[in-house]
Every structure is written in C-alpha cells, then in structure tokens.
Structure 1
Amino acid sequence: MEPKQDPRIALLPGVEEPHIRLPPENLEAEQALLGSILVNNNAYHRVGEFLKGEHFANALHGKLFDDVARLIEKGQVVSVITLKTYLEQDEAMKEAGGAEYLANLAAASVHVIDAEQYGRVVHDLYLRRQLIALGHDVVNGAFRPTLEESAMEQIETAEKQLYDLASVGQIEGGFKPFRASLTEAMEAAEAAYHRAGQLTGVATGLFQLDQLLGGMHKSDLIILAGRPAMGKSSLATNIGFNAAKAYREEHDTNGHVKVVDGAVVGFFSLEMSAEQLATRMISEQAEIPSEKIRKGELISADFDRVLSVAHELEHLNFFIDDTPALSIAALRTRARRLKRSHGLGLLIVDYLQLLAPSGKTRQENRVQEVSEITRGLKTLAKELDVPVLALSQLSRAVEQREDKRPQLADLRESGSIEQDADVVMFIYRDEYYLMRDEPQRRAEESDQRFNERHDAWRQRCEQQYGKAEVIVAKQRHGPTGIVRLAFEGQFTKFGNLPADDDRSGAPIF
C-alpha cells in the first residue's frame, strides 16, 4: 500500500511524488493532554516533572502548556472559564480560535489517569525529533570538513550531544522509598561483613589506608595529588594492580555476575605509555629495578622471574588506554564502553591536568577548563557507579615553604578540584627533599659544628628512608588523617609498613 501524500506538500505538474519523511509528531495526543489539564488540573501534576512546552511539536500547544503550568504552579485553578482574561490578551490564542479552541481541547480530553501516558508519548516523539536533528548535524558536519575540528573531535562532540540528549530523556528518576535505599545500604554492609578486610568499597591493598577510607566507594571522585617525583603514578598503579588482583566474582541464583571482591580496573594513562606502565607493574611484582628491565641488564634467573610474573599478570582484569590529550567526552565514552564489554569497578586517570575539555567548549580560562573536567569526572563516577581515582599536580607553592607537606590550597585550580572531590589525598616523601638538602660547610664554621649538622642530617635520612605519607586532607564521608607507607623506589612499589616502624601501625587522625 502506497503512503498517502501529506496535504501540506504541493507538487509541481509532472513531478513525481517525493519520498519525504516528516518528523514524528502526534497532535491529537498533545490536544488530548492539554484538554485533560483544562478539565482536571491534577493531570498536570502527572506530567509536570518531565514535560515542558518545548517538547510539543505544535508551538501553540507548547506555549499554552507553559502558560498553564505557570498558573498552576502559582496555585491557581486553570479552566476554560478562568483563562478568559488570558485569551483576551494573547494574539496567538485569538487567532487559533480563542475560547472555542480551548473548548475543543477540553472536549478532546482523556481521563486524568491516562494523562501521564499521553505525556510520555509527547516526550518520546520530542526525543525522536531531536535525534533526527542531531543526525542531520552529524551528517552535515561530516560533509564539511574543517581544519579547526578533526573527524575524531566531531565524533566526540556527537557522542556528548547524544549523551546529553539521553540524560535529558531520562524521566524514570525522582524519589524512591527509604526502604529501597535502606535495603541497598544493608546489602553493602552485609557484603563488607563477609569480605576480607570488612570494607564497603574497593580495597586499595594498603591496610592502613583502607582502614581510614573504608575502601574506595562507588560514585566517589578521589583525588590523589603530589609534586613530581613523589610517586603518585606509582601509588595509583599499585592500587589498581591490588584491586585487579583481588577481583573475584560469583553467579547468583538468577545467573547474574556478582562481584565479591576487587574490581575490573580501567586505567587512562595520559602521561606514560601502556608499555611503560606494564614495565612498572612487572618491576613491582618481580622486585627487579625497572631500568634493568628496560636496558636488558638481566641475569638468567631475573629473566625467568620476569617471564613468570608477566604470565601471571596477563590474566588480570586491568585495561589501559594510553591515548594522549584525551578529551573528557572521549574518556566518558570509552569508560562506558569498557563497562558494557568487560564490566568496570575502578577507573584511574593519570592525570587530570592532561585531559582536554570537550571539543567545542574549550575555555581561555584554564580554571574553567579544569572545572569542566572535574565535574565531568564526578558525573562519570555517579553514572557508572564506580570510584574514579584521578591524579593531580600540585602548584610550586609547596617548594617555597619550610614544611613541604601539601595542603588543599596547593592544588592547581584548587577551587573546582577540592569542591567536586569526595576524597582528596596527598602523597609526600620527606626522603626526597632531605636527599636534596645535604648540609654545606658554612663560612668560618668549625669541623665539629659541621660534622654535627651533617650527622643530624644523615640520621634524619636514615629515619625517613623507604617511607612515604598519604595525607587524607578531605573525606566527605569520614575522618581525615595521615597514613604511613613503605616505598621501594627502585621497584616503584608502595606497601604496608611493619607496625613497629609506623608507631603502632594506626593512622594518625
């Protein structure tokens, strides 16, 4: 059966009927919904949460809906009669027929119970029209290549627009009963009770840090910051490895996969290549300096150990993306894809200052760019329901102080990072600064005095050798404090200090 020609399309003589597809709309549903609201204002409350005037295909219907919504929100009763004054002042409504037009709408109304379903139809058709418009933009943009925007940037922009449209189209949210939230909380508590270490979040594998944080919690943005050479990339790698190594899953009675411990880890390495990151992990586990692995300076026994460790690591649920200058939009897309294909329990970003903002939203002000990036990471953590561990650089203000332990104010663009983060941690190694501060003989200083100062310096170096501090400066859901860790620089490996070396092994609160 041939489709009927739309009466609004006039054909020239001798021209065949064109195959033109009009954007989807349902004017009858719009009229029925508006009529229901005019008859019973309770119909508005069933759709007011997700429906707006812009969602209507007919501009007059959309304008009427917005005007009626405004009056109802003010507590006024809206009907054909009470809208008389409104009709007299609105030229568009006069042209449409005025009171007679409203009466026709009221006559076309459906029962108030059905109003929500009609509202969903109107909203769904709006999303379809937006999809069509987005598709046209993507096609037209691809046909007009420019030097300012590469194909990959166009893809990222399209993905962001599609994601934004999906977010706008999500109308299933809103309040849920407290008993549902209570059930989820109790399930998490029960899982923590049965899990080794009794943590509700993903364990870092560093016992004292887990004790202070309770693990890395779902939907949290965790910032790990430090000056260069402090070891923040090494610590993030260690945490990711520990989480992936501990990964364990089981199937419930319905056959669904349930994560019992650990996590599938996604690691965005914007600074190091995937090969360099893998070398670090091999060095850490084999306890062979990474420079020897890179230079091939291995004896037979060392090489056998490297092969054995590499064979163990290849089965880890650890995924690396080393694309440089990745945009926050592209990162979001790739993280969602990883979760769909392999599952995802922990996302690590090294480091956030190397991320680029979305294609067409680049700001001249770097603070605004970083604000967009941190908001994007926090939104991603909530959307994917996983902890996001993002590394960050610190400003040089640290180097100007006598006490070089980092503070929140030392974060670059600290306003947005500190505000969006649920946890802010600093990595600090006193050994690094001590080794660069060897005393020099002062003018006219005696040998005895110089030797005393040099011995005191050497003793401090010995005390701090192989030790590091993780300073938890902000934690939205718990206490702050300092955790002391062991650090083996040649293996880029962080570990737990023996209790005797850590003042009873408890975090300092």
Structure 2
Amino acid sequence: MQPKEVDDDFDALLSGLPKNTEAEQALLGALLFDNQAYEDVASFLNPEHFALPVHGRIYDAIRHRIDHGQEASPITLKPYFDDDEALKDVSGATYLIQLAGEAVSVISVADYGREIEDLAIKRDLFRVGRDMTQEVCKPEIEVSGRDQLEQFEAELYKLADHGQNDVVSFLQAAEVAVEDIERARQSGSHLTGITTGLTALNKATGGFHPGELVIIAGSTSMGKTSLAVDIATRAAQRYMRDLADGADPTENGGASVAFFSLEMSSNELAKRILSSGAKVNLEKLRNGQISAQETLRVARAAEENAKLPLYIDDTASMTISGLRARARRLIRKNDVGLIVVDYLQLLEGTNRRQSETRTQEVSEITRGLKLLAKDLHVPVIGLSQLSRAPSHRENKRPRLADLRESGSIEQDADMVLFVYREEYHHQANKPDSGSADYNEWLDKLDQLRGKAEVIIGKQRHGATGTEEVFFESEITSFSDLARDLMDG
C-alpha cells in the first residue's frame, strides 16, 4: 500500500529521520471514512506535517473540500490525483479507496494527528541543525559567529512558537476585553495594563499593554531616560507588591522588566534607582559626598530592591536581531513582561548595507521593535532622540515631526510620549544678575520649578493630550503632582 515517491532526494533526507507512515495512512483513511473527524485535527495539523509529500497533498485536498462544504471521499478526490506521479503505479483512486477501506476508529484521529505533528517538529529540528552545520562550515562566510548564533536561536524560537498563537473568535476577544474593563473599574485606578508609575498617565493611557510599541522621546536633558527608569522600577515594584498581596497573576499591574541600556552602564542605572529610592542627591551619591544618615537610606533602598525583577543588559553595541535573541532568553528565563530599550538610535540594523541610509536603518529597527512586542506579547518601550528643530522654535514643545530619523517611528509606534520641562529652557536663558529682567526671570523660575509635562503625541487607542507631573532634578525622578495623589 506504500505509494512510490518520485522525489528521491526527499526520501534520502527522510531516511533515518522520525516518521510514522502508518499513522499518516490511518489518519487519512479515517478522514475519508468520516469527514467530521477533520474537526479534531483542523486547528493544528497542516499538510507540511506529513513525512510523505503525497500524504500532505491528500490531506490538503481533503481539508480544501471540507472547508468549502463539500464531501471528501475517494471518488470526489480522484480528479485531484489522476496525474499524480506518486500514485501512478497504483492509480490514485485505488490508493484512496484502500486508505478509506482500512480506516481505524475515528476516535484515534486526534492522537494520530498529534503524533504526526510531533514527528514533523523533530524533522524540522534536523533541518535546522543541518542548515547550521552547512552555514558555519562555509569558508567565505562574512557573518560573525555571534550573529550566526542569534540567527539560529531565532530559527529555534520560531520553531518552538509555531502554532502557539491560536485564532480567537470575537466572543473570546470580547470576554477578555470585558474582564480588563471590569478590573479597571473595580480598582479605581483606570489601569488595564502595566502601570506607568504615574497616576495621571495611567488615567490617560490605561497603562502599557501587550503588543504595544511605546516611544518616549525628548530633547537632551529633558529626562527621557529618567522617566524610563522610573517606569521600569515602579512596574517591577508593583509586580512584587501584587504578588505579595496574593493578587491573581492575570490582574498584576506590574511586570518583570528587561532594560536594554545601550548608553548607560548597569552601575549608573542602579545609582539612579538608589538615588530615587533613598531620596538622596544623585550627584552627591556618585561623588561619595553623602552623610551617614543618607548612607543608611541608600543601604535601606538597596535592601528593599534587592529582589526587584529588573534585569539590565548594558551591551554597548547591539543589532536588532541580537536584542530580539536576548529578549527571548530573558522572557523564557525570567518571565519578563515589559521591555525597555534606551535608546533606539544606538541600535544597529541586522544587515546594514553601504547604500542604506540611516533613516532606512532606523525604520528596520522600529519595525523590529514592533514585531518584538507583537511576537512576544509584551509592551516594548523604545527611547528616541529628537531633532534640533525644537531648539529653533519659540515654542519648544516637541511634535511628532521632531522625531529624529522619524521615517517609521511615528508609523510603527502605538503610543508616543514626549518629555518636556520648560524650567530647563528657562534656566538656559538666565539674564545677567544685574539686569532689569533678572527679578522677572527669577519669579518665573520659581513658578516653573519642578513642573514637567508628559505629552501624549500619539495614542492609537486613545486620546492625545498633556499630563502635568513633578520632576525632582536632584534625584532625576518623576512623580505625581499632589492633586493626582489625592485623585488616585
């Protein structure tokens, strides 16, 4: 009953590899005998899972007819295989009749389907390993061993993730949406995703959600890294607090965080977190000019955050594919639920060509970050520089057009947040202390001191606008205004 395959190379490849021809025949026979059995395997079994190509073609023909509301039987399938070389010796229709005539119980269809799928995965593993060996052994290869490792890891991850994202009905999606809405209503915090760490921003955005690419942008010294560090720290702290309170994992308002710092060392990031937690001047902390009491506060902050699920990768030079590989490892190992990248202009494209402009490369990077968020089902926060355009305007508040190499940043982002502090620009225009304008300048500085804005320049699923927050420059940290603390 074994059909003759004309693809000798494929047979040679399969020789010695795991396959179960009898299981394939039994499953196909059961489907031809009872088309309703197709429902037991339709959600996961594909033609490429069959070891023998002709069996894959038969399965494809069966599902094509069933999906179109037509009967799949040896007679109705005969025209599909009259000219099939693989069945030529035994006649297509005869082989199909034999399959249906020797069908086993349809109760076993799902088990046979899973067996076929599992063996296909093992054969795919063989192919990946073979390709790895051939690629590594090429004498003229120009790609580094590290890049090859990341490419191979991506292939394995793709194989592991294949078929895991099931299509859901509107009813299923709506049920999840209603649960999110009800959770936010009961909590009173307007939070449906991962906390931003700021009450006003939580109300305006609902937090950060799986699959979203969030861009935080600002001019130099506006505090975009400080905001990102605050968000990462508070999300990790909220995660630990909700766990300690026994909250349902699906209702956790925080997350374990992976922070990719391409500009600042992990040591410097830790100092920022300790400075904010201990309320100790960051500059004095760096220089060791803190009192004994402040030292105790720093030690206490370090102890309180010792088990913080915040993982810092400070690799200085990284490609977008390298970042994806590292992110996948952190998610598997530490169940990371939020990724922060500081900052995206320091990332490199995977295969940069000399003819490629920097704007094209940044476009590849932003698309890569969006795909990362979608594939790993976590929010990704990418920091971005601004062009110099705001400094040449009277109104220096940033706009979407100010994003440096903005090509696809605005297009790919689900949310764009700008950090703006008028206080910084006002201080930069300090007049001479003896001038007539000095007192007026001083009065305005007092009005602006500590005030900052987070401008929502784009929100795919919500409104744009500006949220006022407080910025404490000595510890480079953002926090709620007093009114927001009362409202929240």
User: Common fold, TM-score beyond 0.5?
Assistant: yes
1:103 counterpart = 2:97 = yes
1:153 Cα deviation from its structure 2 partner: 2.0
Paired residue for 1:408, among 384, 400, 404?
Answer: 400
The equivalent residue for 2:220 is 228
The equivalent residue for 2:3 is none
The equivalent residue for 1:16 is none
* Number of aligned residue pairs: 473
Deviations 1:194-239 (A, max 9, x none): 6584633333332222222233334433221222221100111122
The equivalent residue for 2:125 is 131
Aligned equivalents of 2:174 and 2:351: distance in 1?
38
Deviations 1:264-314 (A, max 9, x none): 333221110001111222333344433333333445554454444434443
1:146 Cα deviation from its structure 2 partner: 7.0
Paired residue for 1:175, among 168, 173, 180?
Answer: 168
Contact 2:24–2:116 (Cα < 8 Å) also in 1: yes
Most deviating of 466-475 and 281-290: 281-290
Contact 1:30–1:118 (Cα < 8 Å) also in 2: yes
Aligned equivalents of 1:83 and 1:433: distance in 2?
76
Aligned equivalents of 1:85 and 1:382: distance in 2?
42
The equivalent residue for 2:6 is none
**SS of equivalent to 2:74:** coil
Contact 2:82–2:93 (Cα < 8 Å) also in 1: no
Aligned equivalents of 1:118 and 1:362: distance in 2?
51
Aligned equivalents of 2:158 and 2:280: distance in 1?
47
The equivalent residue for 1:209 is 201
**SS of equivalent to 1:149:** coil
Deviations 1:124-171 (A, max 9, x none): 22111001111233344455687733332222111100111122243x
1:28 counterpart = 2:22 = yes
State how 1:188-267 maps to structure 2 within 5 Å. 188=180, 192=184, 195=187, 197=189, 199-246=191-238, 247-250=240-243, 262-267=254-259
Percent of aligned pairs with the same amino acid: 46
Aligned equivalents of 1:36 and 1:371: distance in 2?
50
Q: State the AA in 2 paired with 1:268.
A: F
Structure 2 CA distance for partners of 1:478 and 1:305, relative to 1, 3 Å: same
1:107 Cα deviation from its structure 2 partner: 2.4
The equivalent residue for 2:54 is 60
The equivalent residue for 2:281 is 289
| Structure 2: gaps (5+ residues) | 1-13
Aligned equivalents of 1:57 and 1:329: distance in 2?
32
Aligned equivalents of 2:201 and 2:272: distance in 1?
22
Normalization by structure 2: what TM-score? 0.80
1:378 Cα deviation from its structure 2 partner: 4.0
The equivalent residue for 1:310 is 302
Aligned equivalents of 1:30 and 1:75: distance in 2?
23
1:102 Cα deviation from its structure 2 partner: 2.7
Aligned equivalents of 2:355 and 2:22: distance in 1?
45
Aligned equivalents of 1:154 and 1:305: distance in 2?
46
1:351 Cα deviation from its structure 2 partner: 1.8
Aligned equivalents of 1:83 and 1:214: distance in 2?
53
Aligned equivalents of 2:113 and 2:352: distance in 1?
33
Structure 2 CA distance for partners of 1:93 and 1:200, relative to 1, 3 Å: same
1:478 counterpart = 2:462 = yes
**SS of equivalent to 2:197:** coil
Aligned equivalents of 2:370 and 2:458: distance in 1?
15
**SS of equivalent to 1:389:** strand
Contact 2:419–2:454 (Cα < 8 Å) also in 1: yes
Q: State the AA in 2 paired with 1:53.
A: P
**SS of equivalent to 1:472:** strand
For the aligned residues, what is the CA RMSD? Answer: 4.0
Structure 2 CA distance for partners of 1:73 and 1:188, relative to 1, 3 Å: closer
Aligned equivalents of 1:126 and 1:32: distance in 2?
17
Contact 2:421–2:453 (Cα < 8 Å) also in 1: yes
| Structure 1: gaps (5+ residues) | 1-19, 441-446
Structure 2 CA distance for partners of 1:301 and 1:33, relative to 1, 3 Å: closer
Aligned equivalents of 2:112 and 2:426: distance in 1?
71
Paired residue for 1:149, among 140, 143, 147?
Answer: 143
The equivalent residue for 2:8 is none
Normalization by structure 1: what TM-score? 0.77
Paired residue for 1:81, among 75, 78, 81?
Answer: 75
Aligned equivalents of 1:463 and 1:251: distance in 2?
41
Contact 2:33–2:100 (Cα < 8 Å) also in 1: yes
State how 1:313-462 maps to structure 2 within 5 Å. 313-358=305-350, 364=356, 366=358, 369-382=361-374, 385-412=377-404, 414=406, 416-437=408-429, 451=436, 460-462=444-446
Aligned equivalents of 2:127 and 2:80: distance in 1?
34
